[in-house]
Amino acid sequence: MKKRDFLKLADLSHAEHLSLRARAVELKALRQNRALVETLKGRTLGLVFEKPSTRTRVSFEAAMCQLGGTALSLPMAESQIKRGETLEDTARVLSRYVDALVFRTFGDQRLETFARSASVPVINGLSEGAHPVQLLADLMTVEERLGSLGGRRVAFVGDGASNMALSWIEAANLFQFQLTVAAPAGYQPPATPGIRVTEDAKVGVIDADVLVTDVWLSMGQEDEAAKRRAAFAGFQLDETLLRRASPKAIVLHCLPAHRGEEISEAVIEGPQSAVFDEAENRLHTQKALLEVLLG
């Protein structure tokens, strides 16, 4: 049987996404009731990270352990890659030890190479072009808070060319909600049918049901700090912007957050913020994903 990767949202069918979210809701309730769920007993997940991580690493490790399996993390800096072993050989060897791999990397070419070389399922744990496992949690959180996704108005404020913005664009195409990306010139996403793009954050957020933001400086962009902070001034998700959205709007941020940059303290800690539920839902949605790919 051909192995299944999850490198982008479209690697699951629409029906699989719906049943994954339903299963995640079920797994969340089971965990709240301290029920023992051992659907991945005896299975092993390997995590290979070329960038830092808190949520992705720990939520995948916890997911495997709680489903009866095991997770092993290999930071790239401690691997033989640092001494010249190829990405291809690394993926081939690790595939002999574990049943699936999560890979967090820079360019999407590296992700493709790793996935092509691995003989077990590879999950994108964040690349330059996408963060699909984050979107699984984000979409679950929208449904949990607002009841449904279809027809909702989502506004993404910030770096429109970032992995998070690009994954929200993919999600809007798959799940038929309205997406507006508010980003400064030079940081806008590629033109995509059905996606509205504006340089005016105040216009972009009008009547939104969901407000999403992400850091102005993604991992690996530290050298561009001054230039980016200047470009994104006026794109902070603060109370002024929040007041222009629907009164019942929720606020999402994949975290880590930089309070006072892309989001104000008052908004991230305010009653409309769903960011910590969003972070928790990483655990439940990734359990459901692991069951699909490994079950």
By the rule CB under 6 A, 166 interacts with ligand CP: no
Judge whether 65 counts as a catalytic residue.
no
Q: How far is the CB of 51 from ligand NVA (least distance, A)?
A: 7
Distance CA 27, CA 42 (A): 19
Residue 286 engages ligand NVA in binding (rule: CB under 6 A):
no
| Active site (annotated) includes residue 104 | yes
163 binds ligand NVA (CB under 6 A): yes
The verdict on 218 binding ligand CP (CB under 6 A) reads no
The residue among 120 and 126 lying less far from ligand CP, judged by its C-beta, is: 126
| Sheet strands (E) in the chain | 44-49, 70-75, 100-104, 122-124, 153-157, 178-182, 195-198, 210-213, 250-253
Q: Which residues pair with 78 in a beta bridge?
A: none
**Closer CB to ligand NVA, residue 114 or residue 156?**
156
- Under the criterion CB under 6 A, does residue 255 sit at the interface with ligand CP? yes
Dihedral of CA atoms 137, 140, 146, 148 in degrees, nearest 10, equals 140
The yes or no reply on residue 167 touching ligand NVA (CB under 6 A) is no
* Cis status of the peptide bond prior to 271, with omega within 30 of 0: no
Q: Is 212 in the site for ligand CP (CB under 6 A)?
A: no
**Residue 274 binding: pick among ligand CP, ligand NVA, none (C-beta 5-8 Å cut-off by kind):** none
Q: Tell me if residue 164 falls in helix, strand or coil.
A: helix
Q: Kindly list the distances between the CA atom of residue 134 and the CA atoms of 71, 83, 113, 167, 169, in Å, as whole numbers in the listed order.
A: 19, 31, 22, 9, 13
Residues 41-60 that bind ligand CP (CB under 6 A): 53-56
Residues that bind ligand NVA (CB under 6 A): 126, 162-164, 214-215, 218-219, 254
